[in-house]
Structures are given as C-alpha cells and as structure tokens.
Chain A
Amino acid sequence: MTLELTVSPDFSPEHIAGWYVFNTWLQRKLGVRIHLELYEDFSAQRQAIAADKVDLIYANPYDAAMLVREKGFVAIAAPQGKADEVVIAVPVDSPAQSVEDLQPGLRLAVTRDPDVNLIGMILLEAADLTRDNTQTQQVSTYVVLARTLLQGKADCGFFLKEAFDDLSAPIRRQLRPVMTSQISLVHHVLLVGPRCAELRETLQTLVLGMAEPGSDGRATLQALGLSGWDRQDQEDTEFMIDLMDTLMV
C-alpha cells in the first residue's frame, strides 16, 4: 500500500523542498511507501480529502476540525512554538492607525486560508466590520495579496503572520500591520487517517524524536523550518476544535 501525504496549501513556499525531504525521511523510517501530493489550493485539497485520497496530513486548524469530526483522523503532533497568528496589514501610507479606524465599505484582500480569514474577520468585529459591509477580493497567495495592497486595489489584507514575516523586506516596508493576533492556542497539526491507524503510535514516536540530539531527523526539521514537534493528544485536539467552533458563525 502507498500512503498519501499532503500539506495544508498555506505552507511557506520556501519549505516545499523540506516536505519532500520529510517524505523521504518518513518512508525510510517507516519502511512504507508514501506519496507526497502538494495541492495548489484549498479546494483541490478538500476534494482529495472528500474522496478519501489522504492518509497523512499537515493541516491548518480549520481543516483539522473537519478531518477529526467527519473523517476519523487523529492528530499526533503539533509544530513546536508555531501558533497560527494573523496580521491585518494596510499600505504604509494608509490613514488607518488601528482597526477601529477602518470604515464600512472597506476593500479587503484575502487568500483562501480558512483559519486566517476566520480570525481576521473576528479581529475586524471591534470596528463593526462584517462580510456584509466590506468588499472581499480573494487572491491566490500571500505575495499576490501584498502586491494587491501595494497597487492600491485593496485597503487592507489578512496575512498568516508567518507569511507576512516571510515577505521580502522591501515589500514588508511598504505595508503596516494595524493588528496582530496573539491567540497562541490555534496551530497546525499533523494528522493520521483511519486507513493507517495502526501506524499512529510509531509515527508519533518517530516525529517526536526528530529533535533529539543525534537524531537524523534534525536536518529534516530544519528543512521544514521547525524546531521540533509537540505531542498532541486527543483532548488537546478536541480543545482546539472546541475553540474553532466558538469562532465559527
């Protein structure tokens, strides 16, 4: 059997190679064939999930909720010290100094990143801004989102903080965060599907051991831009899903 591994399409482009390195490392350690499929966007990945074409997935918290509740996946690990935070940014010359300065009619640029868009809209509630009194323009990537703001085609954009920090310095200098979330409790997770449930414990032991001194997994972690993995038990996952539930309309 070949297992199917995939990664939430919001991963940082500079770590694409890292996921191939991880896939190779995992195959060698498990002695099982694994095929890595990186989907271009969230809808393509969701179709694959719906068609039961995914066995292992590094998922964003929004998709994790669906994978656990509807597809019987179990989360085994979360990236160490890497919470999903959101930056609401405006062009540097925007008159808005805080979220409360943003007005109805706001032209909003977003990606298809579901948890970022959810948290971003929640942060705008303080200014009484909703989907109904803003105009939303969806773009493909965070780089395109930055360009959309710089070209004056939108007033404000939602970024995954990691993606905002990864923008090139000249681009970042032309943007200004008006709010950054500090939620800490929402993060990506590595999940195992029901077809390979018998590998769950072995997989968890393997990934948790990657950061140990002398482990050959350390170079792989570096390629992924991670310092290690934290154990994720069922209750940790349920808690995060409950939290996401409180945020959804």
Chain B
Amino acid sequence: MMTDMNEADLVPSTTLRELRLGYFDGRTRRVLVVDEEVPYPDGKLIVSRTDPDGIITHANQAFVDMSGYERDELIGENHCILRHPDMPAAAFRDLWDTVSRGSKWQGYVKNLRKDGAHYWVFATAIPNVRDGRVVGYTSVRRKPSRAKVNEYTALYAQMRAEELK
C-alpha cells in the first residue's frame, strides 16, 4: 500500500481536506490537501523516469524540490504518489492509453506535494523505446501559463464532478 500522508508534514493552513484516494490498481491512500499553490520555478524542467509499471526510477533535483519528498522516498514509489484528488481520473487514463500506444502525451496537471500543497505543470510523457521495446517512460514538466492553469482548473473541476456523480 502506498504510504498515507501525515499531518506532521503539512504546510500550515486552515483549509485542510482529508480523503481516501483510489488508484487504477485498486490500492487506496489517505491524502491530505491544503489549498496552497507553490509557484513553478522559473527556467527549470522537472524530469522523471519510470519503469513500464510507473515506478519512479529517476528524479532530477527540480522534481525532488517541487514534490516536497526526499529523493529516496520517491525512487521505487509509484508515480501516482503525486496525484492530486482534484485531477480527473480520465486525464491519467488518457495519459497511459496514449503512452502505451507508443505516442507522446501532453497535458496540464495539478500535482500534490508531500506537504499537502500543489503545483501546476504542463507535462509531456513519452515511452522510452530501446531495441523496439518499451523499457519505461520519461516525463518532462514545464511552467504553464496562468491563463492555462485557470482554464484547466475549471475544466477539471467539471470533469471531477461528473466522475463523482
């Protein structure tokens, strides 16, 4: 089971939400969410790689810094440790369907930090093909514009509401 989030790690806030998030493989996790956005660092790319099952095998320093976790808490963990409950499941289904077909996926993503805050990214994920075989996935995130963040905040809220009906 993925490690539950801990109150002691949270950024101080008056807007704490607690919920149990279910993942594609049937696992669940207690997540704690505060309504705080951490700005994307200027000039940086957040880079990670996973194995074919979505287990993190590489994280660059920007990834570690923005996630709020230590590197050794991330390596070996499923990438969905970053999944924010405001993200519609359909977005991740589309991501995995696309990269599993061998294609590039791009989209706007709200990521959950260890401290319950979030950060928005424009993400690109591609399969790593070696000798004709997919050996993992590389994901690179860049800074999204504020206009796009606002647009996708509204869209995802609508999609999430539909999913929860």
A246 touches B130 (CB 8 A): no
Do B145 and A127 have beta carbons less than 8 Å apart? yes
Q: In the complex, are the beta carbons of A122 and B145 less than 8 A apart?
A: no
Judge if A125 is at the interface, Cβ distance under 8 Å.
yes
Q: In the complex, which of the residues A123, A126, A183, A185 contacts B144, with contact meaning CB atoms closer than 8 Å? A: A126
**Measured between alpha carbons, how far is A98 from B144 in the docked complex, in Å?**
15
Main secondary structure of the interface of B (DSSP, over half): mixed
B104 touches A126 (CB 8 A): no
Please count how many residues in chain A sit with their CB below 8 Å of the partner chain's CB atoms. Answer: 23
Which chain A residue has the least Cβ–Cβ distance from B128? A242
With contacts defined as CB atoms under 8 Å apart, how many contacts are there between chain A and chain B in the complex?
61
Q: Mark each residue of chain B from 36 to 47: 1 if its CB lies under 8 Å from any CB of chain A, else 0.
A: 000011111101
B-contact bits for A212-249, CB 8 A (1 contact / 0 none): 00000000000000000000000000110011011100
Closest to A181 in B: B43
The answer to the question of A99 belonging to the interface, with a C-beta cut-off of 8 Å to chain B, is yes
B148 CB–A CB distance under 8 Å: yes
In the complex, chain A residues 151-193 whose Cβ is within 8 Å of any chain B Cβ: 179-185
A179-B43, A182-B43, A185-B47 known; A246+B124 contact, CB < 8 A: yes
9 A-B pairs with least C-beta separation: A246-B140, A246-B124, A126-B143, A128-B145, A242-B138, A181-B43, A182-B43, A183-B45, A182-B44
Q: Interface on B for A, CB 8 Å cutoff? A: 40-45, 47, 49, 60-62, 104, 122, 124-126, 128, 130, 138-140, 142-148
